Amino acid sequence: MLYHLFKAIGYSLPGTGVFSYITFRAGMAVFVSLLISLWFGKGIIRLLQRRQVGETVRDLGLEGQLSKQGTPTMGGLIILAAILIPTLLFARLDNIYIILLLVATVWLGTIGFIDDYIKVFKKDKRGLAGKFKVIGQVGIGLIVGLTVYFHPGIRTKVEVPEVLAQQFDEREITTFTEDNGQVHYLLDRKSPNTTIPFVKGNEFNYSSLLGWISHEAREYTWLLYVAIVIFIITAVSNGANMTDGLDGLATGTSAIMVLTLGILAYLSGNIIFSQYLDIMYIPGSGEMVVFIGAMAGACIGFLWYNAYPAQVFMGDTGSLALGGIIATLAILVRKELLIPVLCGVFLVENLSVMLQVGWFKYTKRKYGEGRRIFRMSPLHHHYQKLGIHESKIVSRFWIAGIMLAVLSIVTLKLR
């Protein structure tokens, strides 16, 4: 909003020229997001307490668990406000990447809010039926997948030799000259491509998955791509939801992941850095750094109240939104195949539940009694059962998340 305002008046007011820089607007988004979550967060927590919007805790035999009874939930409203307001203030609202991220945030935040509302006000511990959650996640997956595949504003540029560059229309070629005089020719293209980590020449086109059937089958690549996007958003969103079980666990790990994606988005959206690192150049994607700055500030600010012992829980309002946003960001910067590494914490939490349930059902059919792999799932509860203090578990998961984030960044050169 402010970017468009100052641009409209030609940056005629002293100091307004800085709003043309992504780095400045991203920094302001972080600052305002922290201000909203820290300053107004306390007021929202008091409001939730007055409304008696408290967590209902089942006794699972975990140390300190019952002390959480009555702690305000639906704190994800703080996170959503701290993301949306700075983004609307400082981001370019005509950027398709920003529009998609705003839609994903509101969409998934609404699904989570409905789930929390049913639990708290309707006194139904089951919340929103699982099938409706999945329908909502599939819906946003369809929107993201179809937009990325078909929208003309979402394109990538790849370098081609000068000889090949002469074969294309000049409107399809961007010329980039380095300070040393070396000229690069970038071909503007619209294709369902992504990047494979740890592989040299790591671009991968989804149409090749259907090309072995027949050349005509490539026309249906969009169906495959949309299905993959739906799966990724659903999986990561649910992974964040599973991880939200200890004070500060989901908030801290989400902050680490989104900061990493911020680095990747900035590099991919900068023609100089993308050429230097030999990675895919995605015009316009750098604007996502403003949104990412707001999201990072929201997570860190919310952690002020959510760290052990938590004064508020984010509930599904926050966890479903955070996971879905992280998945959408990874898809937009064409790093979705890096998710098993970057979102490794979410992955093991999801897998621990799947393995536990699957093994229990299998052994019950085979032996007449269900057996367990872990003392309790998701995985963080297993460590609680081992007697490890909650804050230590969270700290160690954060450390694991940082290590995975560093490994994700290293993939830029380690191929």
DSSP-assigned beta bridge partners for residue 176: 184
Burial profile 268-304: b = 16 or more Cβ within 10 angstroms, e = fewer: bbbbeebbeeebbbbbbbbbbbbbbbbbbbbbbbbbb
Long-range contacts of the stretch 258-261 (C-beta < 8 A, 24+): 258/292, 258/295, 258/296, 258/299, 258/325, 258/326, 258/329, 259/292, 259/296, 259/405, 260/342, 260/405, 260/408, 260/409, 261/292, 261/326, 261/329, 261/330, 261/333, 261/335, 261/342
pLDDT digits (tens, 9 = 90+) for 24-33: 999 999 999 9
Measured in degrees and rounded to the nearest 5, phi and psi for residue 281 equal -90, 125
pLDDT digits (tens, 9 = 90+) for 302-350: 999 999 888 899 989 999 999 999 999 999 999 999 999 999 999 999 9
> Any idea what the Cα angle at residue 62 is, between residues 58 and 64, rounded to 5°?
95
CA dihedral for 87, 89, 265, 227, sign (positive or negative): positive
Q: What is the DSSP string of 27-58?
A: HHHHHHHHHIIIIIHHHHHHHHHHTT-B----
Q: Specify the residue for token string 């000889």.
A: 163
| Residue 328 · residue 144 · CB < 8 Å | yes
Per-residue pLDDT at 61: 59
DSSP-assigned beta bridge partners for residue 205: 193
pLDDT digits (tens, 9 = 90+) for 261-312: 999 999 999 888 888 888 888 888 999 999 999 999 999 999 999 998 888 9
pLDDT digits (tens, 9 = 90+) for 62-119: 665 655 677 888 899 999 999 999 999 999 999 999 999 999 999 999 999 999 989 8
